[in-house]
Amino acid sequence: MSVRSLALGALIVLAVLAACGPAGPTDRQTEVAERGSRVMPFDLEATTHRFEPDVDGLTQTVVVDDPTDTAQLALVREHLQDEADRFTQGDFEDPAHIHGDAMPGLSDLRAGYPSIDVTYSEIPDGGRITYRTTDTDLVDALHTWGEAQTSDHGSHADA
């Protein structure tokens, strides 16, 4: 086969892949979005989740994609405040309902919640929950939990 034929074949494959567009959400991401819409009062299509690992825990942020959307902004803030209050008490039922009881890191967080300092704060375009601990096993669990959330939320999360 000639170099020219190989090049032409490669171009055809690339053209077909480009015509297909970006890959859509996985079945799991679709299921998570459906369950999430029953737990989270804000519009997933109008917001973005971020889960950033820190040396002593995790920072979870939800921002509205349009900062002038005051209705979504209020819903994000109210939900995150409620979640932070629940997490402080060891109640992780909402993430379990969305992601499943077998979600990576979840059982460790449920067991170790008294050793995690959970704090909510407002930011200009959304809300933030910080999780801080000196327990290295819980830091690892928070990182694993955050990675699972980022993966599960797909296009609704920044990696």
Report the domain count for the chain. Answer: 1
Domain that holds residue 106: 25-158
Evaluate whether residue 74 is within a structural domain: yes
Q: What is the pLDDT of residues 45-93, one digit of tens each?
A: 888 889 999 999 999 999 999 989 999 999 999 999 999 999 999 998 8
The residues pairing with 128 across neighbouring beta strands, listed in sequence order, are 61, 121
Evaluate whether residue 62 is within a structural domain: yes
pTM, two decimal places:
0.75
Under 8 Å CB-to-CB from 13, ≥6 apart: which residues? none
Evaluate whether residue 8 is within a structural domain: no
Tokens at 8, concatenated: 């032409």
Evaluate whether residue 47 is within a structural domain: yes
Q: Under DSSP, is residue 130 helix (H, G, I), strand (E, B) or coil? A: strand
Tokens at 72, concatenated: 């979504």
Evaluate whether residue 153 is within a structural domain: yes
